[in-house]
Amino acid sequence: MSGFSLTDLEKIIAERGRSGDPQSWTAKLFASGTDKAAQKLGEEAVETVIAAVRGDRDGLVSESADLVYHWLVVLALADVPVADVLAELERRTARSGIAEKAARDE
Ligand SMILES: N=c1c2ncn([C@@H]3O[C@H](COP(=O)(O)OP(=O)(O)OP(=O)(O)O)[C@@H](O)[C@H]3O)c2ncn1[C@@H]1O[C@H](COP(=O)(O)O)[C@@H](O)[C@H]1O
């Protein structure tokens, strides 16, 4: 299995986003701003849902990759390190999801 991680892609996105390279989709998204990047994130989420509902396994892998890439772009534009999200996910491992929701609703 590849050792490629979300942090690796986060670094690529930070570099390409600032590159100003006209061939770079990331640079284009950075220049367009958060609204456009968030819109693309939403579109990729819908395409991921469609692949899942259709039982399209290859599509689900491909659309999930598009989704995660655009999610990382939106995080970068908001100056939120992916480590913050991973830390939040790690914090949640201390509790099951249903127990966590019940505590929130108390
Ligand atoms: N992982 C990705 C990645 N996933 C998706 N995309 C691009 O996201 C764009 C939008 O995807 P869509 O399928 O929505 O394409 P679209 O042109 O809007 O087409 P429609 O949906 O309108 O039909 C496409 O241009 C994809 O190539 C990505 N662009 C870049 N990366 C990563 O970022 C790196 C740097 O890329 P550049 O910034 O382009 O150099 C790459 O080496 C990759 O590691």
Domains and CATH numbers, the chain: 6-80 (1.10.287.1080)
Nearest by Cα to 30 from 22, 8, 42, 64: 22
**ipTM of this predicted structure:** 0.91
| CA torsion through residues 18, 24, 26, 29, sign | positive
Output the average pLDDT for the chain.
95
DSSP 94: T
pTM of the model: 0.92
Say yes or no: CB of residue 10 within 6 Å of ligand 1: no
Decide whether any atom of ligand 1 lies within 6 Å of the 37 Cβ: no
Task: State what percent of residues in the chain have pLDDT above 70.
Answer: 99
At residue 97, the pLDDT reads 82
| 87 alpha carbon – ligand 1 mean position (Å) | 27
- By CB atoms closer than 10 A (0-12, 13-18, 19+), residue 17 is buried
Q: Write the DSSP symbol of residue 44.
A: H
Confidence of residue 99 (pLDDT cuts 50, 70, 90): confident
Put residue 56 in one of left, alpha, beta given phi > 0 → left and psi -120 to 50 → alpha.
beta
Distance 83 CA to ligand 1 centre (A): 23
